[in-house]
Amino acid sequence: MAAMAAAATLMSATSSILRRSALLRPHGLQVPRRFPRQRFVRHIASSTNEEAAAKAAAATADIGGPTIFDKIIAKEIPSSVVYEDEKVLAFRDINPQAPVHVIVIPKVRDGLTGLDKAEPRHAEILGQLLYTVKVVAEKEGVADGYRVVINNGAEGCQSVYHLHLHVLGGRQMKWPPG
Ligand code: DGP
């Protein structure tokens, strides 16, 4: 009789252990533990990405004020446009230093107050600006010889803080430049 009672107790205990491990753990214990963990990891990852993006945006924010070139782009003040496309504008300099003197600018400054603010993300627009210089030189009939100048910063004689390339031609250039 005692042996039968002991066997019944053992079977009940075994069944309880089996129920917990084989049935409850996968459906009852593991599910609620696994999902929150994954969500937590995803949350950490996404907030880290957001923070990194916010830091990158702050580091490259366009902190320069508006310039006269914004008004030229918006056609609020007139200019003699030599070339224009979606991203780039080229117009004659108001104070020409050579028979041909054209300014080439990005329509969206995107932090490029000067060349010193260039970031890897600007590589495409920088290439487009340079290519536009070549197009402008051909249009202006100076493709055989011209000079491209970027004045950067106060010591470089920059006066308008919106990146621009000067295309100068139509006369013999001298070297070194002043
Ligand atoms: P820089 O000194 O490198 O920043 O050159 C700025 C040039 O911009 C300078 O050669 C004169 C030109 N510029 C300034 N204001 C105007 C304007 O209102 N119209 C035109 N067409 N050019 C301007």
Looking at 55-59, 93-97, 130-134, 159-163, which range is the least confident one? 55-59
Question: Using one digit for the tens of pLDDT, what is the confidence trace for 39-91?
Answer: 444 444 445 667 765 555 554 557 789 999 999 999 999 999 999 999 999 99
CATH of the domain at 164: 3.30.428.10
In a domain, 123, yes or no: yes
Cα of 1 vs centre of ligand 1, distance in Å, is 109
Tokens linked to 77: 């003040």
Top mutation candidate among 91, 94, 165 for ligand 1, by most atoms within 8 Å of CB? 94
Question: What was the pLDDT predicted at 55?
Answer: 54
Q: Averaged over 112-121, what is the pLDDT? A: 98
Q: Is 104 within a domain?
A: yes
**Single pTM value for the model:** 0.71
Give tens-digit pLDDT for 22-42: 443 444 344 344 434 444 444
In a domain, 10, yes or no: no
Looking at per-residue pLDDT, the higher value among 44 and 153 belongs to 153
Answer yes or no: is 30 within a domain.
Answer: no
How far apart are the CA of 116 and the centre of ligand 1, in A? 19
Rounded CA separation 163/152 (Å)? 8
Q: Which of 46-55, 62-71, 119-128, 143-152 has the lowest mean pLDDT?
A: 46-55
Flag whether 115 is in a domain: yes
Q: Could you tell me the residue range of the domain that residue 116 belongs to?
A: 60-169
Instruction: Determine the pLDDT at residue 54.
Output: 56
Alpha carbon of 130 to ligand 1 centroid (Å) = 18
Has residue 119 been placed in a domain? yes
Report which ligand 1 atom has the smallest distance to the Cα of 92: 21
Residues forming the active site: 164
If 0-12 CB within 10 Å is exposed, 13-18 middle and 19+ buried, where does residue 64 land?
middle
What type of residue sits at position 4? M
Q: Which residues line ligand 1 (CB under 6 A)?
A: 68, 72, 77, 79, 91-95, 103, 151, 157-160
ω into 176 cis (within 30 of 0):
yes
Q: Which neighbouring-strand residues pair with 118?
A: none
Mean pLDDT of 113-139: 98
CA dihedral 105, 110, 113, 118 (to 10 degrees): -100
43 within some domain: no
More confident residue, 53 or 1: 53
Q: Which atom of ligand 1 is nearest to the CA of 79?
A: 21
- 97 domain residue, yes or no: yes
Q: Which of 94, 88, 153 is nearest to 127 (CA)?
A: 88
pLDDT at 122 over 70: yes
Domain count, the chain: 1
